[in-house]
Amino acid sequence: MHRVALGMGVRTIVASLASLLICHALGLEQSYIAVLTAVIVTQASVGASLKAIIDRFIGSLGGAIWGVAILFLLNRLDIHAEWVALTASIAPLAFLSAVNPSFRAAPLTAIILLFTSSSTHDPLTAALGRMLEITIGSVVALAVALAVLPARAHSTLSESADRVLKSMGDLAAIILRSGSTSHPDFQRLHDEIRKSLTQTEAAAAEAFQERNAHLTTAPDPLPFCRTLRRLRNDLTMIGRLNTDPLPDLADAVTAVLRRSGEAILGHQPAPPLEAFESALAQHTAEVADLRKSGATRPLPDETIGRIFGLTFALDQLHDNLKDLTDRLNEFR
């Protein structure tokens, strides 16, 4: 974690200094805008920086266009009150940024344009200057992200996915070995899985940006995240249905999930499912024997529903573990 933060700090410093030097070399007046842009769009990974650059440029372009239009209109109407210009510039842009986060930079750009164009009395020239400075900061930040201690989103994805899978393995051990949700670590593991899964999905979105920009040949990470979410749902369902200790299944599922975390972290093949499939086949056969012998007839409907619902949930878990195997082998 500190390695990632340190790398981002170094890239931020390099990008801001390089932006400042380029602006001075070109004789640009508002060099602080390029430096500010470089700081804003420098993120923990290349994919995150790409997204920040795109959002910054789209928002700034929209804000510049709207700001120029407002200034030209007010000049034609011979209205010079700052509060009128500020209200007319910010009101629609604030609403737009609330609807579409990609335009969050639009109000800021319009404000900067409003308060820096008065010296030139030429809104269009001021807007072009601001966009040039933003472009310099963005390009420099991207170049630094690719050249200085580059951090790819796939590495972050692997680390957070490893935490998800290992926490799932610990949770599976509790719900299948004890048959109870009253274990003191039960809620803690659910919270850890939810947090790590959110981090994994965020890293996957950044990795997807890198993939779209042809900066990596790694496979699409989004199906992998969907598989993780389905596995989490399977464990939740099993935890609600299971009331009896199933030690063989517990050991097998825990081993598969934990080794899957090690596999994605070390770019290794997915672990085999034979031990889990054997334990599942034995459990399914026992349930079938209960049904054939008529032992389930005197049981309450709720208990019967739990028995067969658990069998269905374990079958779903099996399907999703096979899907996990395919996704892990793609990432090798």
Residue 165's pLDDT is 96
Residues 133-151, buried b or exposed e (16+ Cβ, 10 A)? bbbbbbbbbbebbeebeeb
The DSSP call for residue 297 is T
**CA 44, 45, 50, 55 torsion: positive or negative?**
negative
CA 168 to CA 183: how far, in whole Å? 15
Q: What is the pLDDT of residue 2?
A: 67
Tell me, what DSSP letter sits at residue 179? -
pLDDT in tens, the chain (332 residues): 567 778 889 999 999 999 999 999 998 877 889 999 999 999 888 888 888 999 999 999 999 899 888 888 887 777 777 788 888 888 899 898 889 888 888 888 888 888 776 555 577 888 888 899 999 999 999 999 889 877 788 888 999 999 999 999 999 999 998 776 778 888 899 999 999 999 999 999 988 888 888 878 888 899 999 999 999 999 999 998 888 889 999 999 999 999 999 999 988 999 999 999 999 999 999 888 888 888 878 888 888 888 889 999 999 999 999 999 999 999 87
Looking at residue 76, its pLDDT comes to 78
pLDDT for residue 274: 96
Write down the pLDDT at residue 121: 57
Q: Is the pTM of this model over 0.85?
A: no
Alpha-carbon span 252 to 228, nearest angstrom? 18
Kindly write down the DSSP assignment for every residue of 104-142, as one continuous string.
Answer: TTHHHHHHHHHHHSTTTT-HHHHHHHHHHHHHHHHHHHH
Tokens coding 84: 């009128």
Q: What pLDDT is attached to residue 120?
A: 52
